[in-house]
Amino acid sequence: IKQTIKFEQTIYLISLLAINTHQRSRNTFSIRLDFGTFGFYSRIKAKMYKNKLDTVRYYVKFFLIAINVPLIVSAIGIATIIKLLWPKRKFKDITDKVVLITGGGNGLGREIATKLAERKCKLAIVDIDQKAANETVAFLKNKFDNLVAEAYIADVSDYDQCQKVASKVEQELGFVDILISNAGLMPCIDFADITMDRIEKTVGVNLMSNLYFIKLVLDKMIERNSGHIVCTSSIGGQVPLPGGSVYSLTKKMNLPVPPFDVDFVADEAVKGILREDTVVTISKEFNIVIYLHKILPPFIKNFVLTAGSNLKSVKND
């Protein structure tokens, strides 16, 4: 017992490092260190051992713990110092860069535009909904002083309209430095029931519009050796949902443009623009369980999918 008590000073040093240790054995001693509200305290229980080998074994264990603790703390300290001294990653300066955002009138497109407005970009908000596009531009200009942002109306599934918009943006704002092809449709209809018109429209907006705008801006980007292209994808492209076969197909498509570094599918969530709304619910008739808490921007709920008990209303919309 006296030999065990001699370890008290070592135990106290370990407690200063805020390490909680608990060793117990039926035939041996147990040591417990706790971090109390008003300070550190140690409690030592010691029992005589029936077997000297057990005594040696547990002394060795405690000795190893006493050695490893400072090593671990030292490693943590070194890692912390390296992290503090390591130069932080700097975002590329995109001030005054021309950014064309399709589907920028609502939802994710508006949220992306807001984040880019914070970076002082020149924004071209493209949307088929003129009112929504104008509201986005007005909202951004009211929030950010001296912001350059214009609304452009186009059906992005129509190449001629895309071409006119791209040309107009170039004339009014300059060459497109960043293309964010974000426009999308999400029909929730069984494939047996969906019409060819709806299929063509979904493919046109979700897939062909990406190709149209990439084709319209890529050559100038190559000439200037500068530019970035992002096409918004969806979890639906990774995990198809019932009634969403056409949508999932369009979101799964990937078109790399070697040897140029083009991010055609952005299939990871962007933490900077996420919100806490729970905006998607799936009917039990789908026989699946999906939890979508705290992941989507607040405006998306009116434009993506709200499937509740009345599936017919969803199919007819």
Answer whether 179's CB lies under 8 Å from 216's CB: no
Of the segments 28-37, 169-178, 281-290, which one has the largest average pLDDT value? 169-178
Q: Which of 25-34, 206-215, 244-253, 255-264 has the lowest mean pLDDT?
A: 25-34
pTM recorded for the entire structure = 0.58
Residues 6+ apart with CB under 8 A from 110: 104, 136, 139, 297, 299
Of the segments 61-70, 91-100, 295-304, which one has the largest average pLDDT value? 91-100
Of the segments 83-92, 140-149, 274-283, which one has the largest average pLDDT value? 140-149
CA 185 to chain CA centroid, nearest Å: 21
The rounded percent of the chain whose pLDDT value lies above 90 is 34
**Mean pLDDT calculated for residue range 57-86:** 79
pLDDT at 128 over 50: yes
Query: What is the chain written as a DSSP string?
Result: -HHHHTTHHHHHHHHHTT---EE--TTS-EEEEEEETTEEEEEEE----S-HHHHHHHHHHHHHHHHHHHHHHHHHHHHHHHHHHSPPPPPP--TT-EEEEETTTSHHHHHHHHHHHHTT-EEEEEES-HHHHHHHHHHHHHHSTT--EEEEE--TT-HHHHHHHHHHHHHHT-S-SEEEE---------TTT--HHHHHHHHIIIIIHHHHHHHHHHHHHHHHT--EEEEE--GGGTS--TT-HHHHHHHH-----TTS--EEEE-S--GGG---B------GGG-------S-B-TTGGGTS----S-HHHHHH-
CA 224 to chain CA centroid, nearest Å: 30
pLDDT at 45 over 90: no
Of the segments 29-38, 59-68, 259-268, which one has the largest average pLDDT value? 59-68
Q: How far apart are CA 114 and CA 105, in angstroms?
A: 11
Domain 98-286 annotated CATH 3.40.50.150: no
Which band of pLDDT confidence, cut at 50, 70 and 90, is reported for residue 17?
A: very low
Burial class (CB in 10 A: 0-12, 13-18, 19+), 5: exposed
Q: How far apart are CA 132 and CA 123, in angstroms?
A: 15
pLDDT value of residue 6? 43
CB atoms within 10 A of CB 174: 14
Give yes or no for a cis peptide into 259 (omega within 30° of 0): yes
pLDDT value of residue 251? 78
Given the residues 59, 159, 247, 291, select the one marked as catalytic: 247
212 is catalytic: no
pLDDT value of residue 260? 52
**Mean pLDDT calculated for residue range 242-269:** 61
Which band of pLDDT confidence, cut at 50, 70 and 90, is reported for residue 102?
A: very high
pLDDT value of residue 196? 93
pLDDT at 266 over 60: no
pLDDT value of residue 259? 56
All CATH 3.40.50.720 domain ranges of the chain, comma separated, are: 98-286
pLDDT value of residue 43? 40
The rounded percent of the chain whose pLDDT value lies above 70 is 61
